[in-house]
Amino acid sequence: MDDELLPPSAFTEAADINTLAKRLEELARFPALQLLIAANPATPAAVLAQLAKVSKMEVRRAVAMNPNAPLQVLSQLAGEFPEEFLRNPVLPMLNMVKPGFIKELPFLAWAGLLRFEHLPSSWFQQIKTASRYQRNQAAIWKLIQLHVSQAGEAHELLVLPATSKAPRPWKAVIQDELKLDLHAATGPATLAPEDEVETLLLFGLLVPYAVPMLKEQWVWAARTAGRQTGRMLASTMAVGGKMLARLAQEESLFVRCQVARHPHASAKILGQLVTSHHPEVRSAVASNPHTPAEIISTLLADSQSVVRRAAVSHATVTAEDHKMMARDEESTVRAALAALHQLDNTLLTQLADDPAATVRAAVARNLHAPQEILATLAGDDRPAVRAAAAGNPCLPVKQHTILLNDPEEAVRARLGSNACLSEQDAVQLARDTSLAVRASLAANPRTPIPLLDQLWQSGEMAVWLGLARNPRLSPDQLTQLAAQGDLRVRTAVAAHKRTPPEVLRELALADRRNIWYALAANPHTPLDVLEHALFTSDLELRLRLFTHPTMVRNQRRPFFTLLAGKLQQLIVTNNLPDWLRRVVFQYYTALPAILLEPLASSPYWEERYLVARHSHTSEVLLHKLAHDGICYVRAAARDALTGRRQHSRTSSH
């Protein structure tokens, strides 16, 4: 039975303390019921032990508060949910009947529990009188001694023994302390590679200045998720030459292509990549505007036409090279040449007489082609060539009249999209029997408003799609199209700049990939819609959202909120990658407070101390840290609050 098919009675049974143990065990298989069962004090200990391993944090939190959970399970969850552990109704009973249980708590549990200033004094008394425990659990004993109940209030922000005689910066000292604590915290959960890659790439977007120190992580990501890393690489300008040199040697073809296209790729790197056996890589080198002329000259003679086609469009190609490439054996290469705007009329005339229709069509589309050449091509015997000429706004008006009656609908359709179409010609095309012609006309911004209204009345989806793409359509008409159109029409409406914000919000509710991409392309999409789109876990979509004007104006706050949420989950589950910890310590003063504040719930006091010393940590959080169980954390938080009060008084005067 699926979750969707569960009867209401199943939810009642899952929460009922009178439900039989066997029945609760059966119901625990359904994810929708697991939270209720985890909170049910009648749930068997064995079932709770299984629920303590599920991925949903809410379920594990409920197990940590369940008095029927086995002590071993509670001990493991205490590090992740120390507050819930302390609130568990079974704790007072354990203190009475099995007081020695605290000696069985792992390091991570103690690290989490010592965040709280008010802990049972009997716990500390037991540890203080157990010299064997102190020797065997030296890391825990050292940590306990930092608790305010044992050390008292700290009068200095940090007084720890340095490993050398020379004074050391406080940040270096607590980094060393953190390494020792991390070593003592055995058995952390394993972070899935795809989750770590996602965190790395998101962090690279928001903290670009940290990218150079993460070379090894980027290389690992390229091997783990090549396509994702390649896309990210194309959007990251903070990547340096050393990292690009490393990535250029990776096996992933997609990654190497992105390196070849990267604006920071040096001539040396491009020179290495141009020797690749893969034409895709050589084509990528040819498409890089920074590729030196000597490399482009080599690529113009490449054995693969796809490479020559990319190279012929490069800005360093000379007029002499153009003449040479006009004789290339492959029509696709000559067509790429014919599309260039810097060709002289002599060469354009030569290409307009090319035997390949694809080449002549490329000339017909060229906005810099002389009118006499366009007029000639408008009478070409191949429909594709005439269609290309019909869509060129530089085509002489005289040819419009001829093409209006062309037997091929593709030609008339392209004429209907011509930016210089006259009103008279538009009227005739509006009566055309071809749906494709009328749809093309509907999308043309030059089409008069009365004709747009006439086309609207047709009710044909293809025509409506054209209307939805017309920049002159009114907000009211767009609203109607959003309500009555099919998915393609609604997608076009979502991308339209004149669509009202409330309509964009309604379209977002469909949760369709095409619509999300259209909303990302619309510069007027509201921030709340973009924020919702951000949680689709589509990297390409996220990259587009990252550069969206609305997102940029709002300082990309939704991105920071998303990353902060991920960091919070990684911290609570003790899954924060080591590379991320290194970056935090290296750049903690430059990091936005929103990315540092999740560390306030870290089981490691060194990271909480870092938050307390950050200049932009919120006062609410500082007040919380001022009551931390570790003396140094509370001292740093109180010092920060005192400094802010003094600054406030000084400013008021």
Report which of 103, 110, 180 is spatially closest to residue 630, judged by C-alpha positions: 110
Are 329 and 356 spatial neighbours (Cβ–Cβ below 8 Å)? no
Q: What is the pLDDT of residues 91-102, one digit of tens each?
A: 999 999 998 999
What stretch of H or E contains 65?
none
Tokens 């490393």 correspond to what residue? 246
Q: How many CA atoms lie within 13 A of 556 on its CB side?
A: 20
Q: What's the rounded mean pLDDT across residues 460-485?
A: 97
Report which of 489, 478, 571 is spatially closest to residue 524, judged by C-alpha positions: 478
pLDDT given for residue 2 in this prediction: 60
Q: What φ, ψ does residue 628 adopt, rounded to 5°?
A: -65, 155
- Assess whether pLDDT exceeds 70 at residue 509: yes
The alpha carbon of residue 226 and the mean position of all alpha carbons in its chain are separated, in whole angstroms, by 15
Tokens 């209307």 correspond to what residue? 467
Percent of the chain at pLDDT above 70?
97
Tokens 């619509």 correspond to what residue? 515
167 or 524, which is more confident?
524
Q: What is the pLDDT of residues 218-229, one digit of tens each?
A: 999 999 999 999
pLDDT given for residue 220 in this prediction: 94
pLDDT given for residue 151 in this prediction: 93
Q: What's the rounded mean pLDDT across residues 407-415?
A: 98
Residue 572 pLDDT level (bands cut at 50, 70, 90): confident
* 3-class DSSP state of 588: coil
Residue 497 pLDDT level (bands cut at 50, 70, 90): very high
Percent of the chain at pLDDT above 90?
88
Q: What is the pLDDT of residues 272-312, one digit of tens each?
A: 999 999 999 999 999 999 999 999 999 999 999 999 999 99
pLDDT given for residue 653 in this prediction: 61
What is the torsional sign of CA 471, 477, 482, 484? negative
Tokens 């895709």 correspond to what residue? 280
- Assess whether pLDDT exceeds 70 at residue 187: no
Q: What's the rounded mean pLDDT across residues 428-451?
A: 97
- Assess whether pLDDT exceeds 70 at residue 160: no
Q: How far apart are CA 142 and CA 284, in angstroms?
A: 57
pLDDT given for residue 3 in this prediction: 61
pLDDT given for residue 439 in this prediction: 98
Residue 647 pLDDT level (bands cut at 50, 70, 90): confident
Q: How far apart are CA 26 and CA 400, in angstroms?
A: 75
Q: What is the pLDDT of residues 104-157, one digit of tens each?
A: 999 999 999 999 999 999 999 999 999 999 999 999 999 999 999 999 998 777
Q: What is the pLDDT of residues 581-622, one digit of tens each?
A: 999 999 989 999 999 999 999 999 999 999 999 999 999 999
Contact partners, residue 140, CB within 8 Å, separation at least 6: 105, 107, 110, 127, 184
The alpha carbon of residue 195 and the mean position of all alpha carbons in its chain are separated, in whole angstroms, by 12
pLDDT given for residue 55 in this prediction: 87
Highest mean pLDDT pick, 171-175, 230-234, 625-629: 625-629
Q: What is the pLDDT of residues 546-558, one digit of tens each?
A: 999 999 999 999 9
Residue 158 pLDDT level (bands cut at 50, 70, 90): confident
Are 273 and 256 spatial neighbours (Cβ–Cβ below 8 Å)? yes
Q: How far apart are CA 99 and CA 126, in angstroms?
A: 9
- Assess whether pLDDT exceeds 60 at residue 446: yes
pLDDT, mean over the chain: 94
Residue 189 pLDDT level (bands cut at 50, 70, 90): low
Q: What is the pLDDT of residues 2-50, one digit of tens each?
A: 666 789 999 999 999 999 999 999 999 999 999 999 999 999 999 999 9
pLDDT given for residue 166 in this prediction: 58
pLDDT given for residue 148 in this prediction: 96
Are 368 and 341 spatial neighbours (Cβ–Cβ below 8 Å)? yes
Residue 161 pLDDT level (bands cut at 50, 70, 90): low
Residue 170 pLDDT level (bands cut at 50, 70, 90): confident
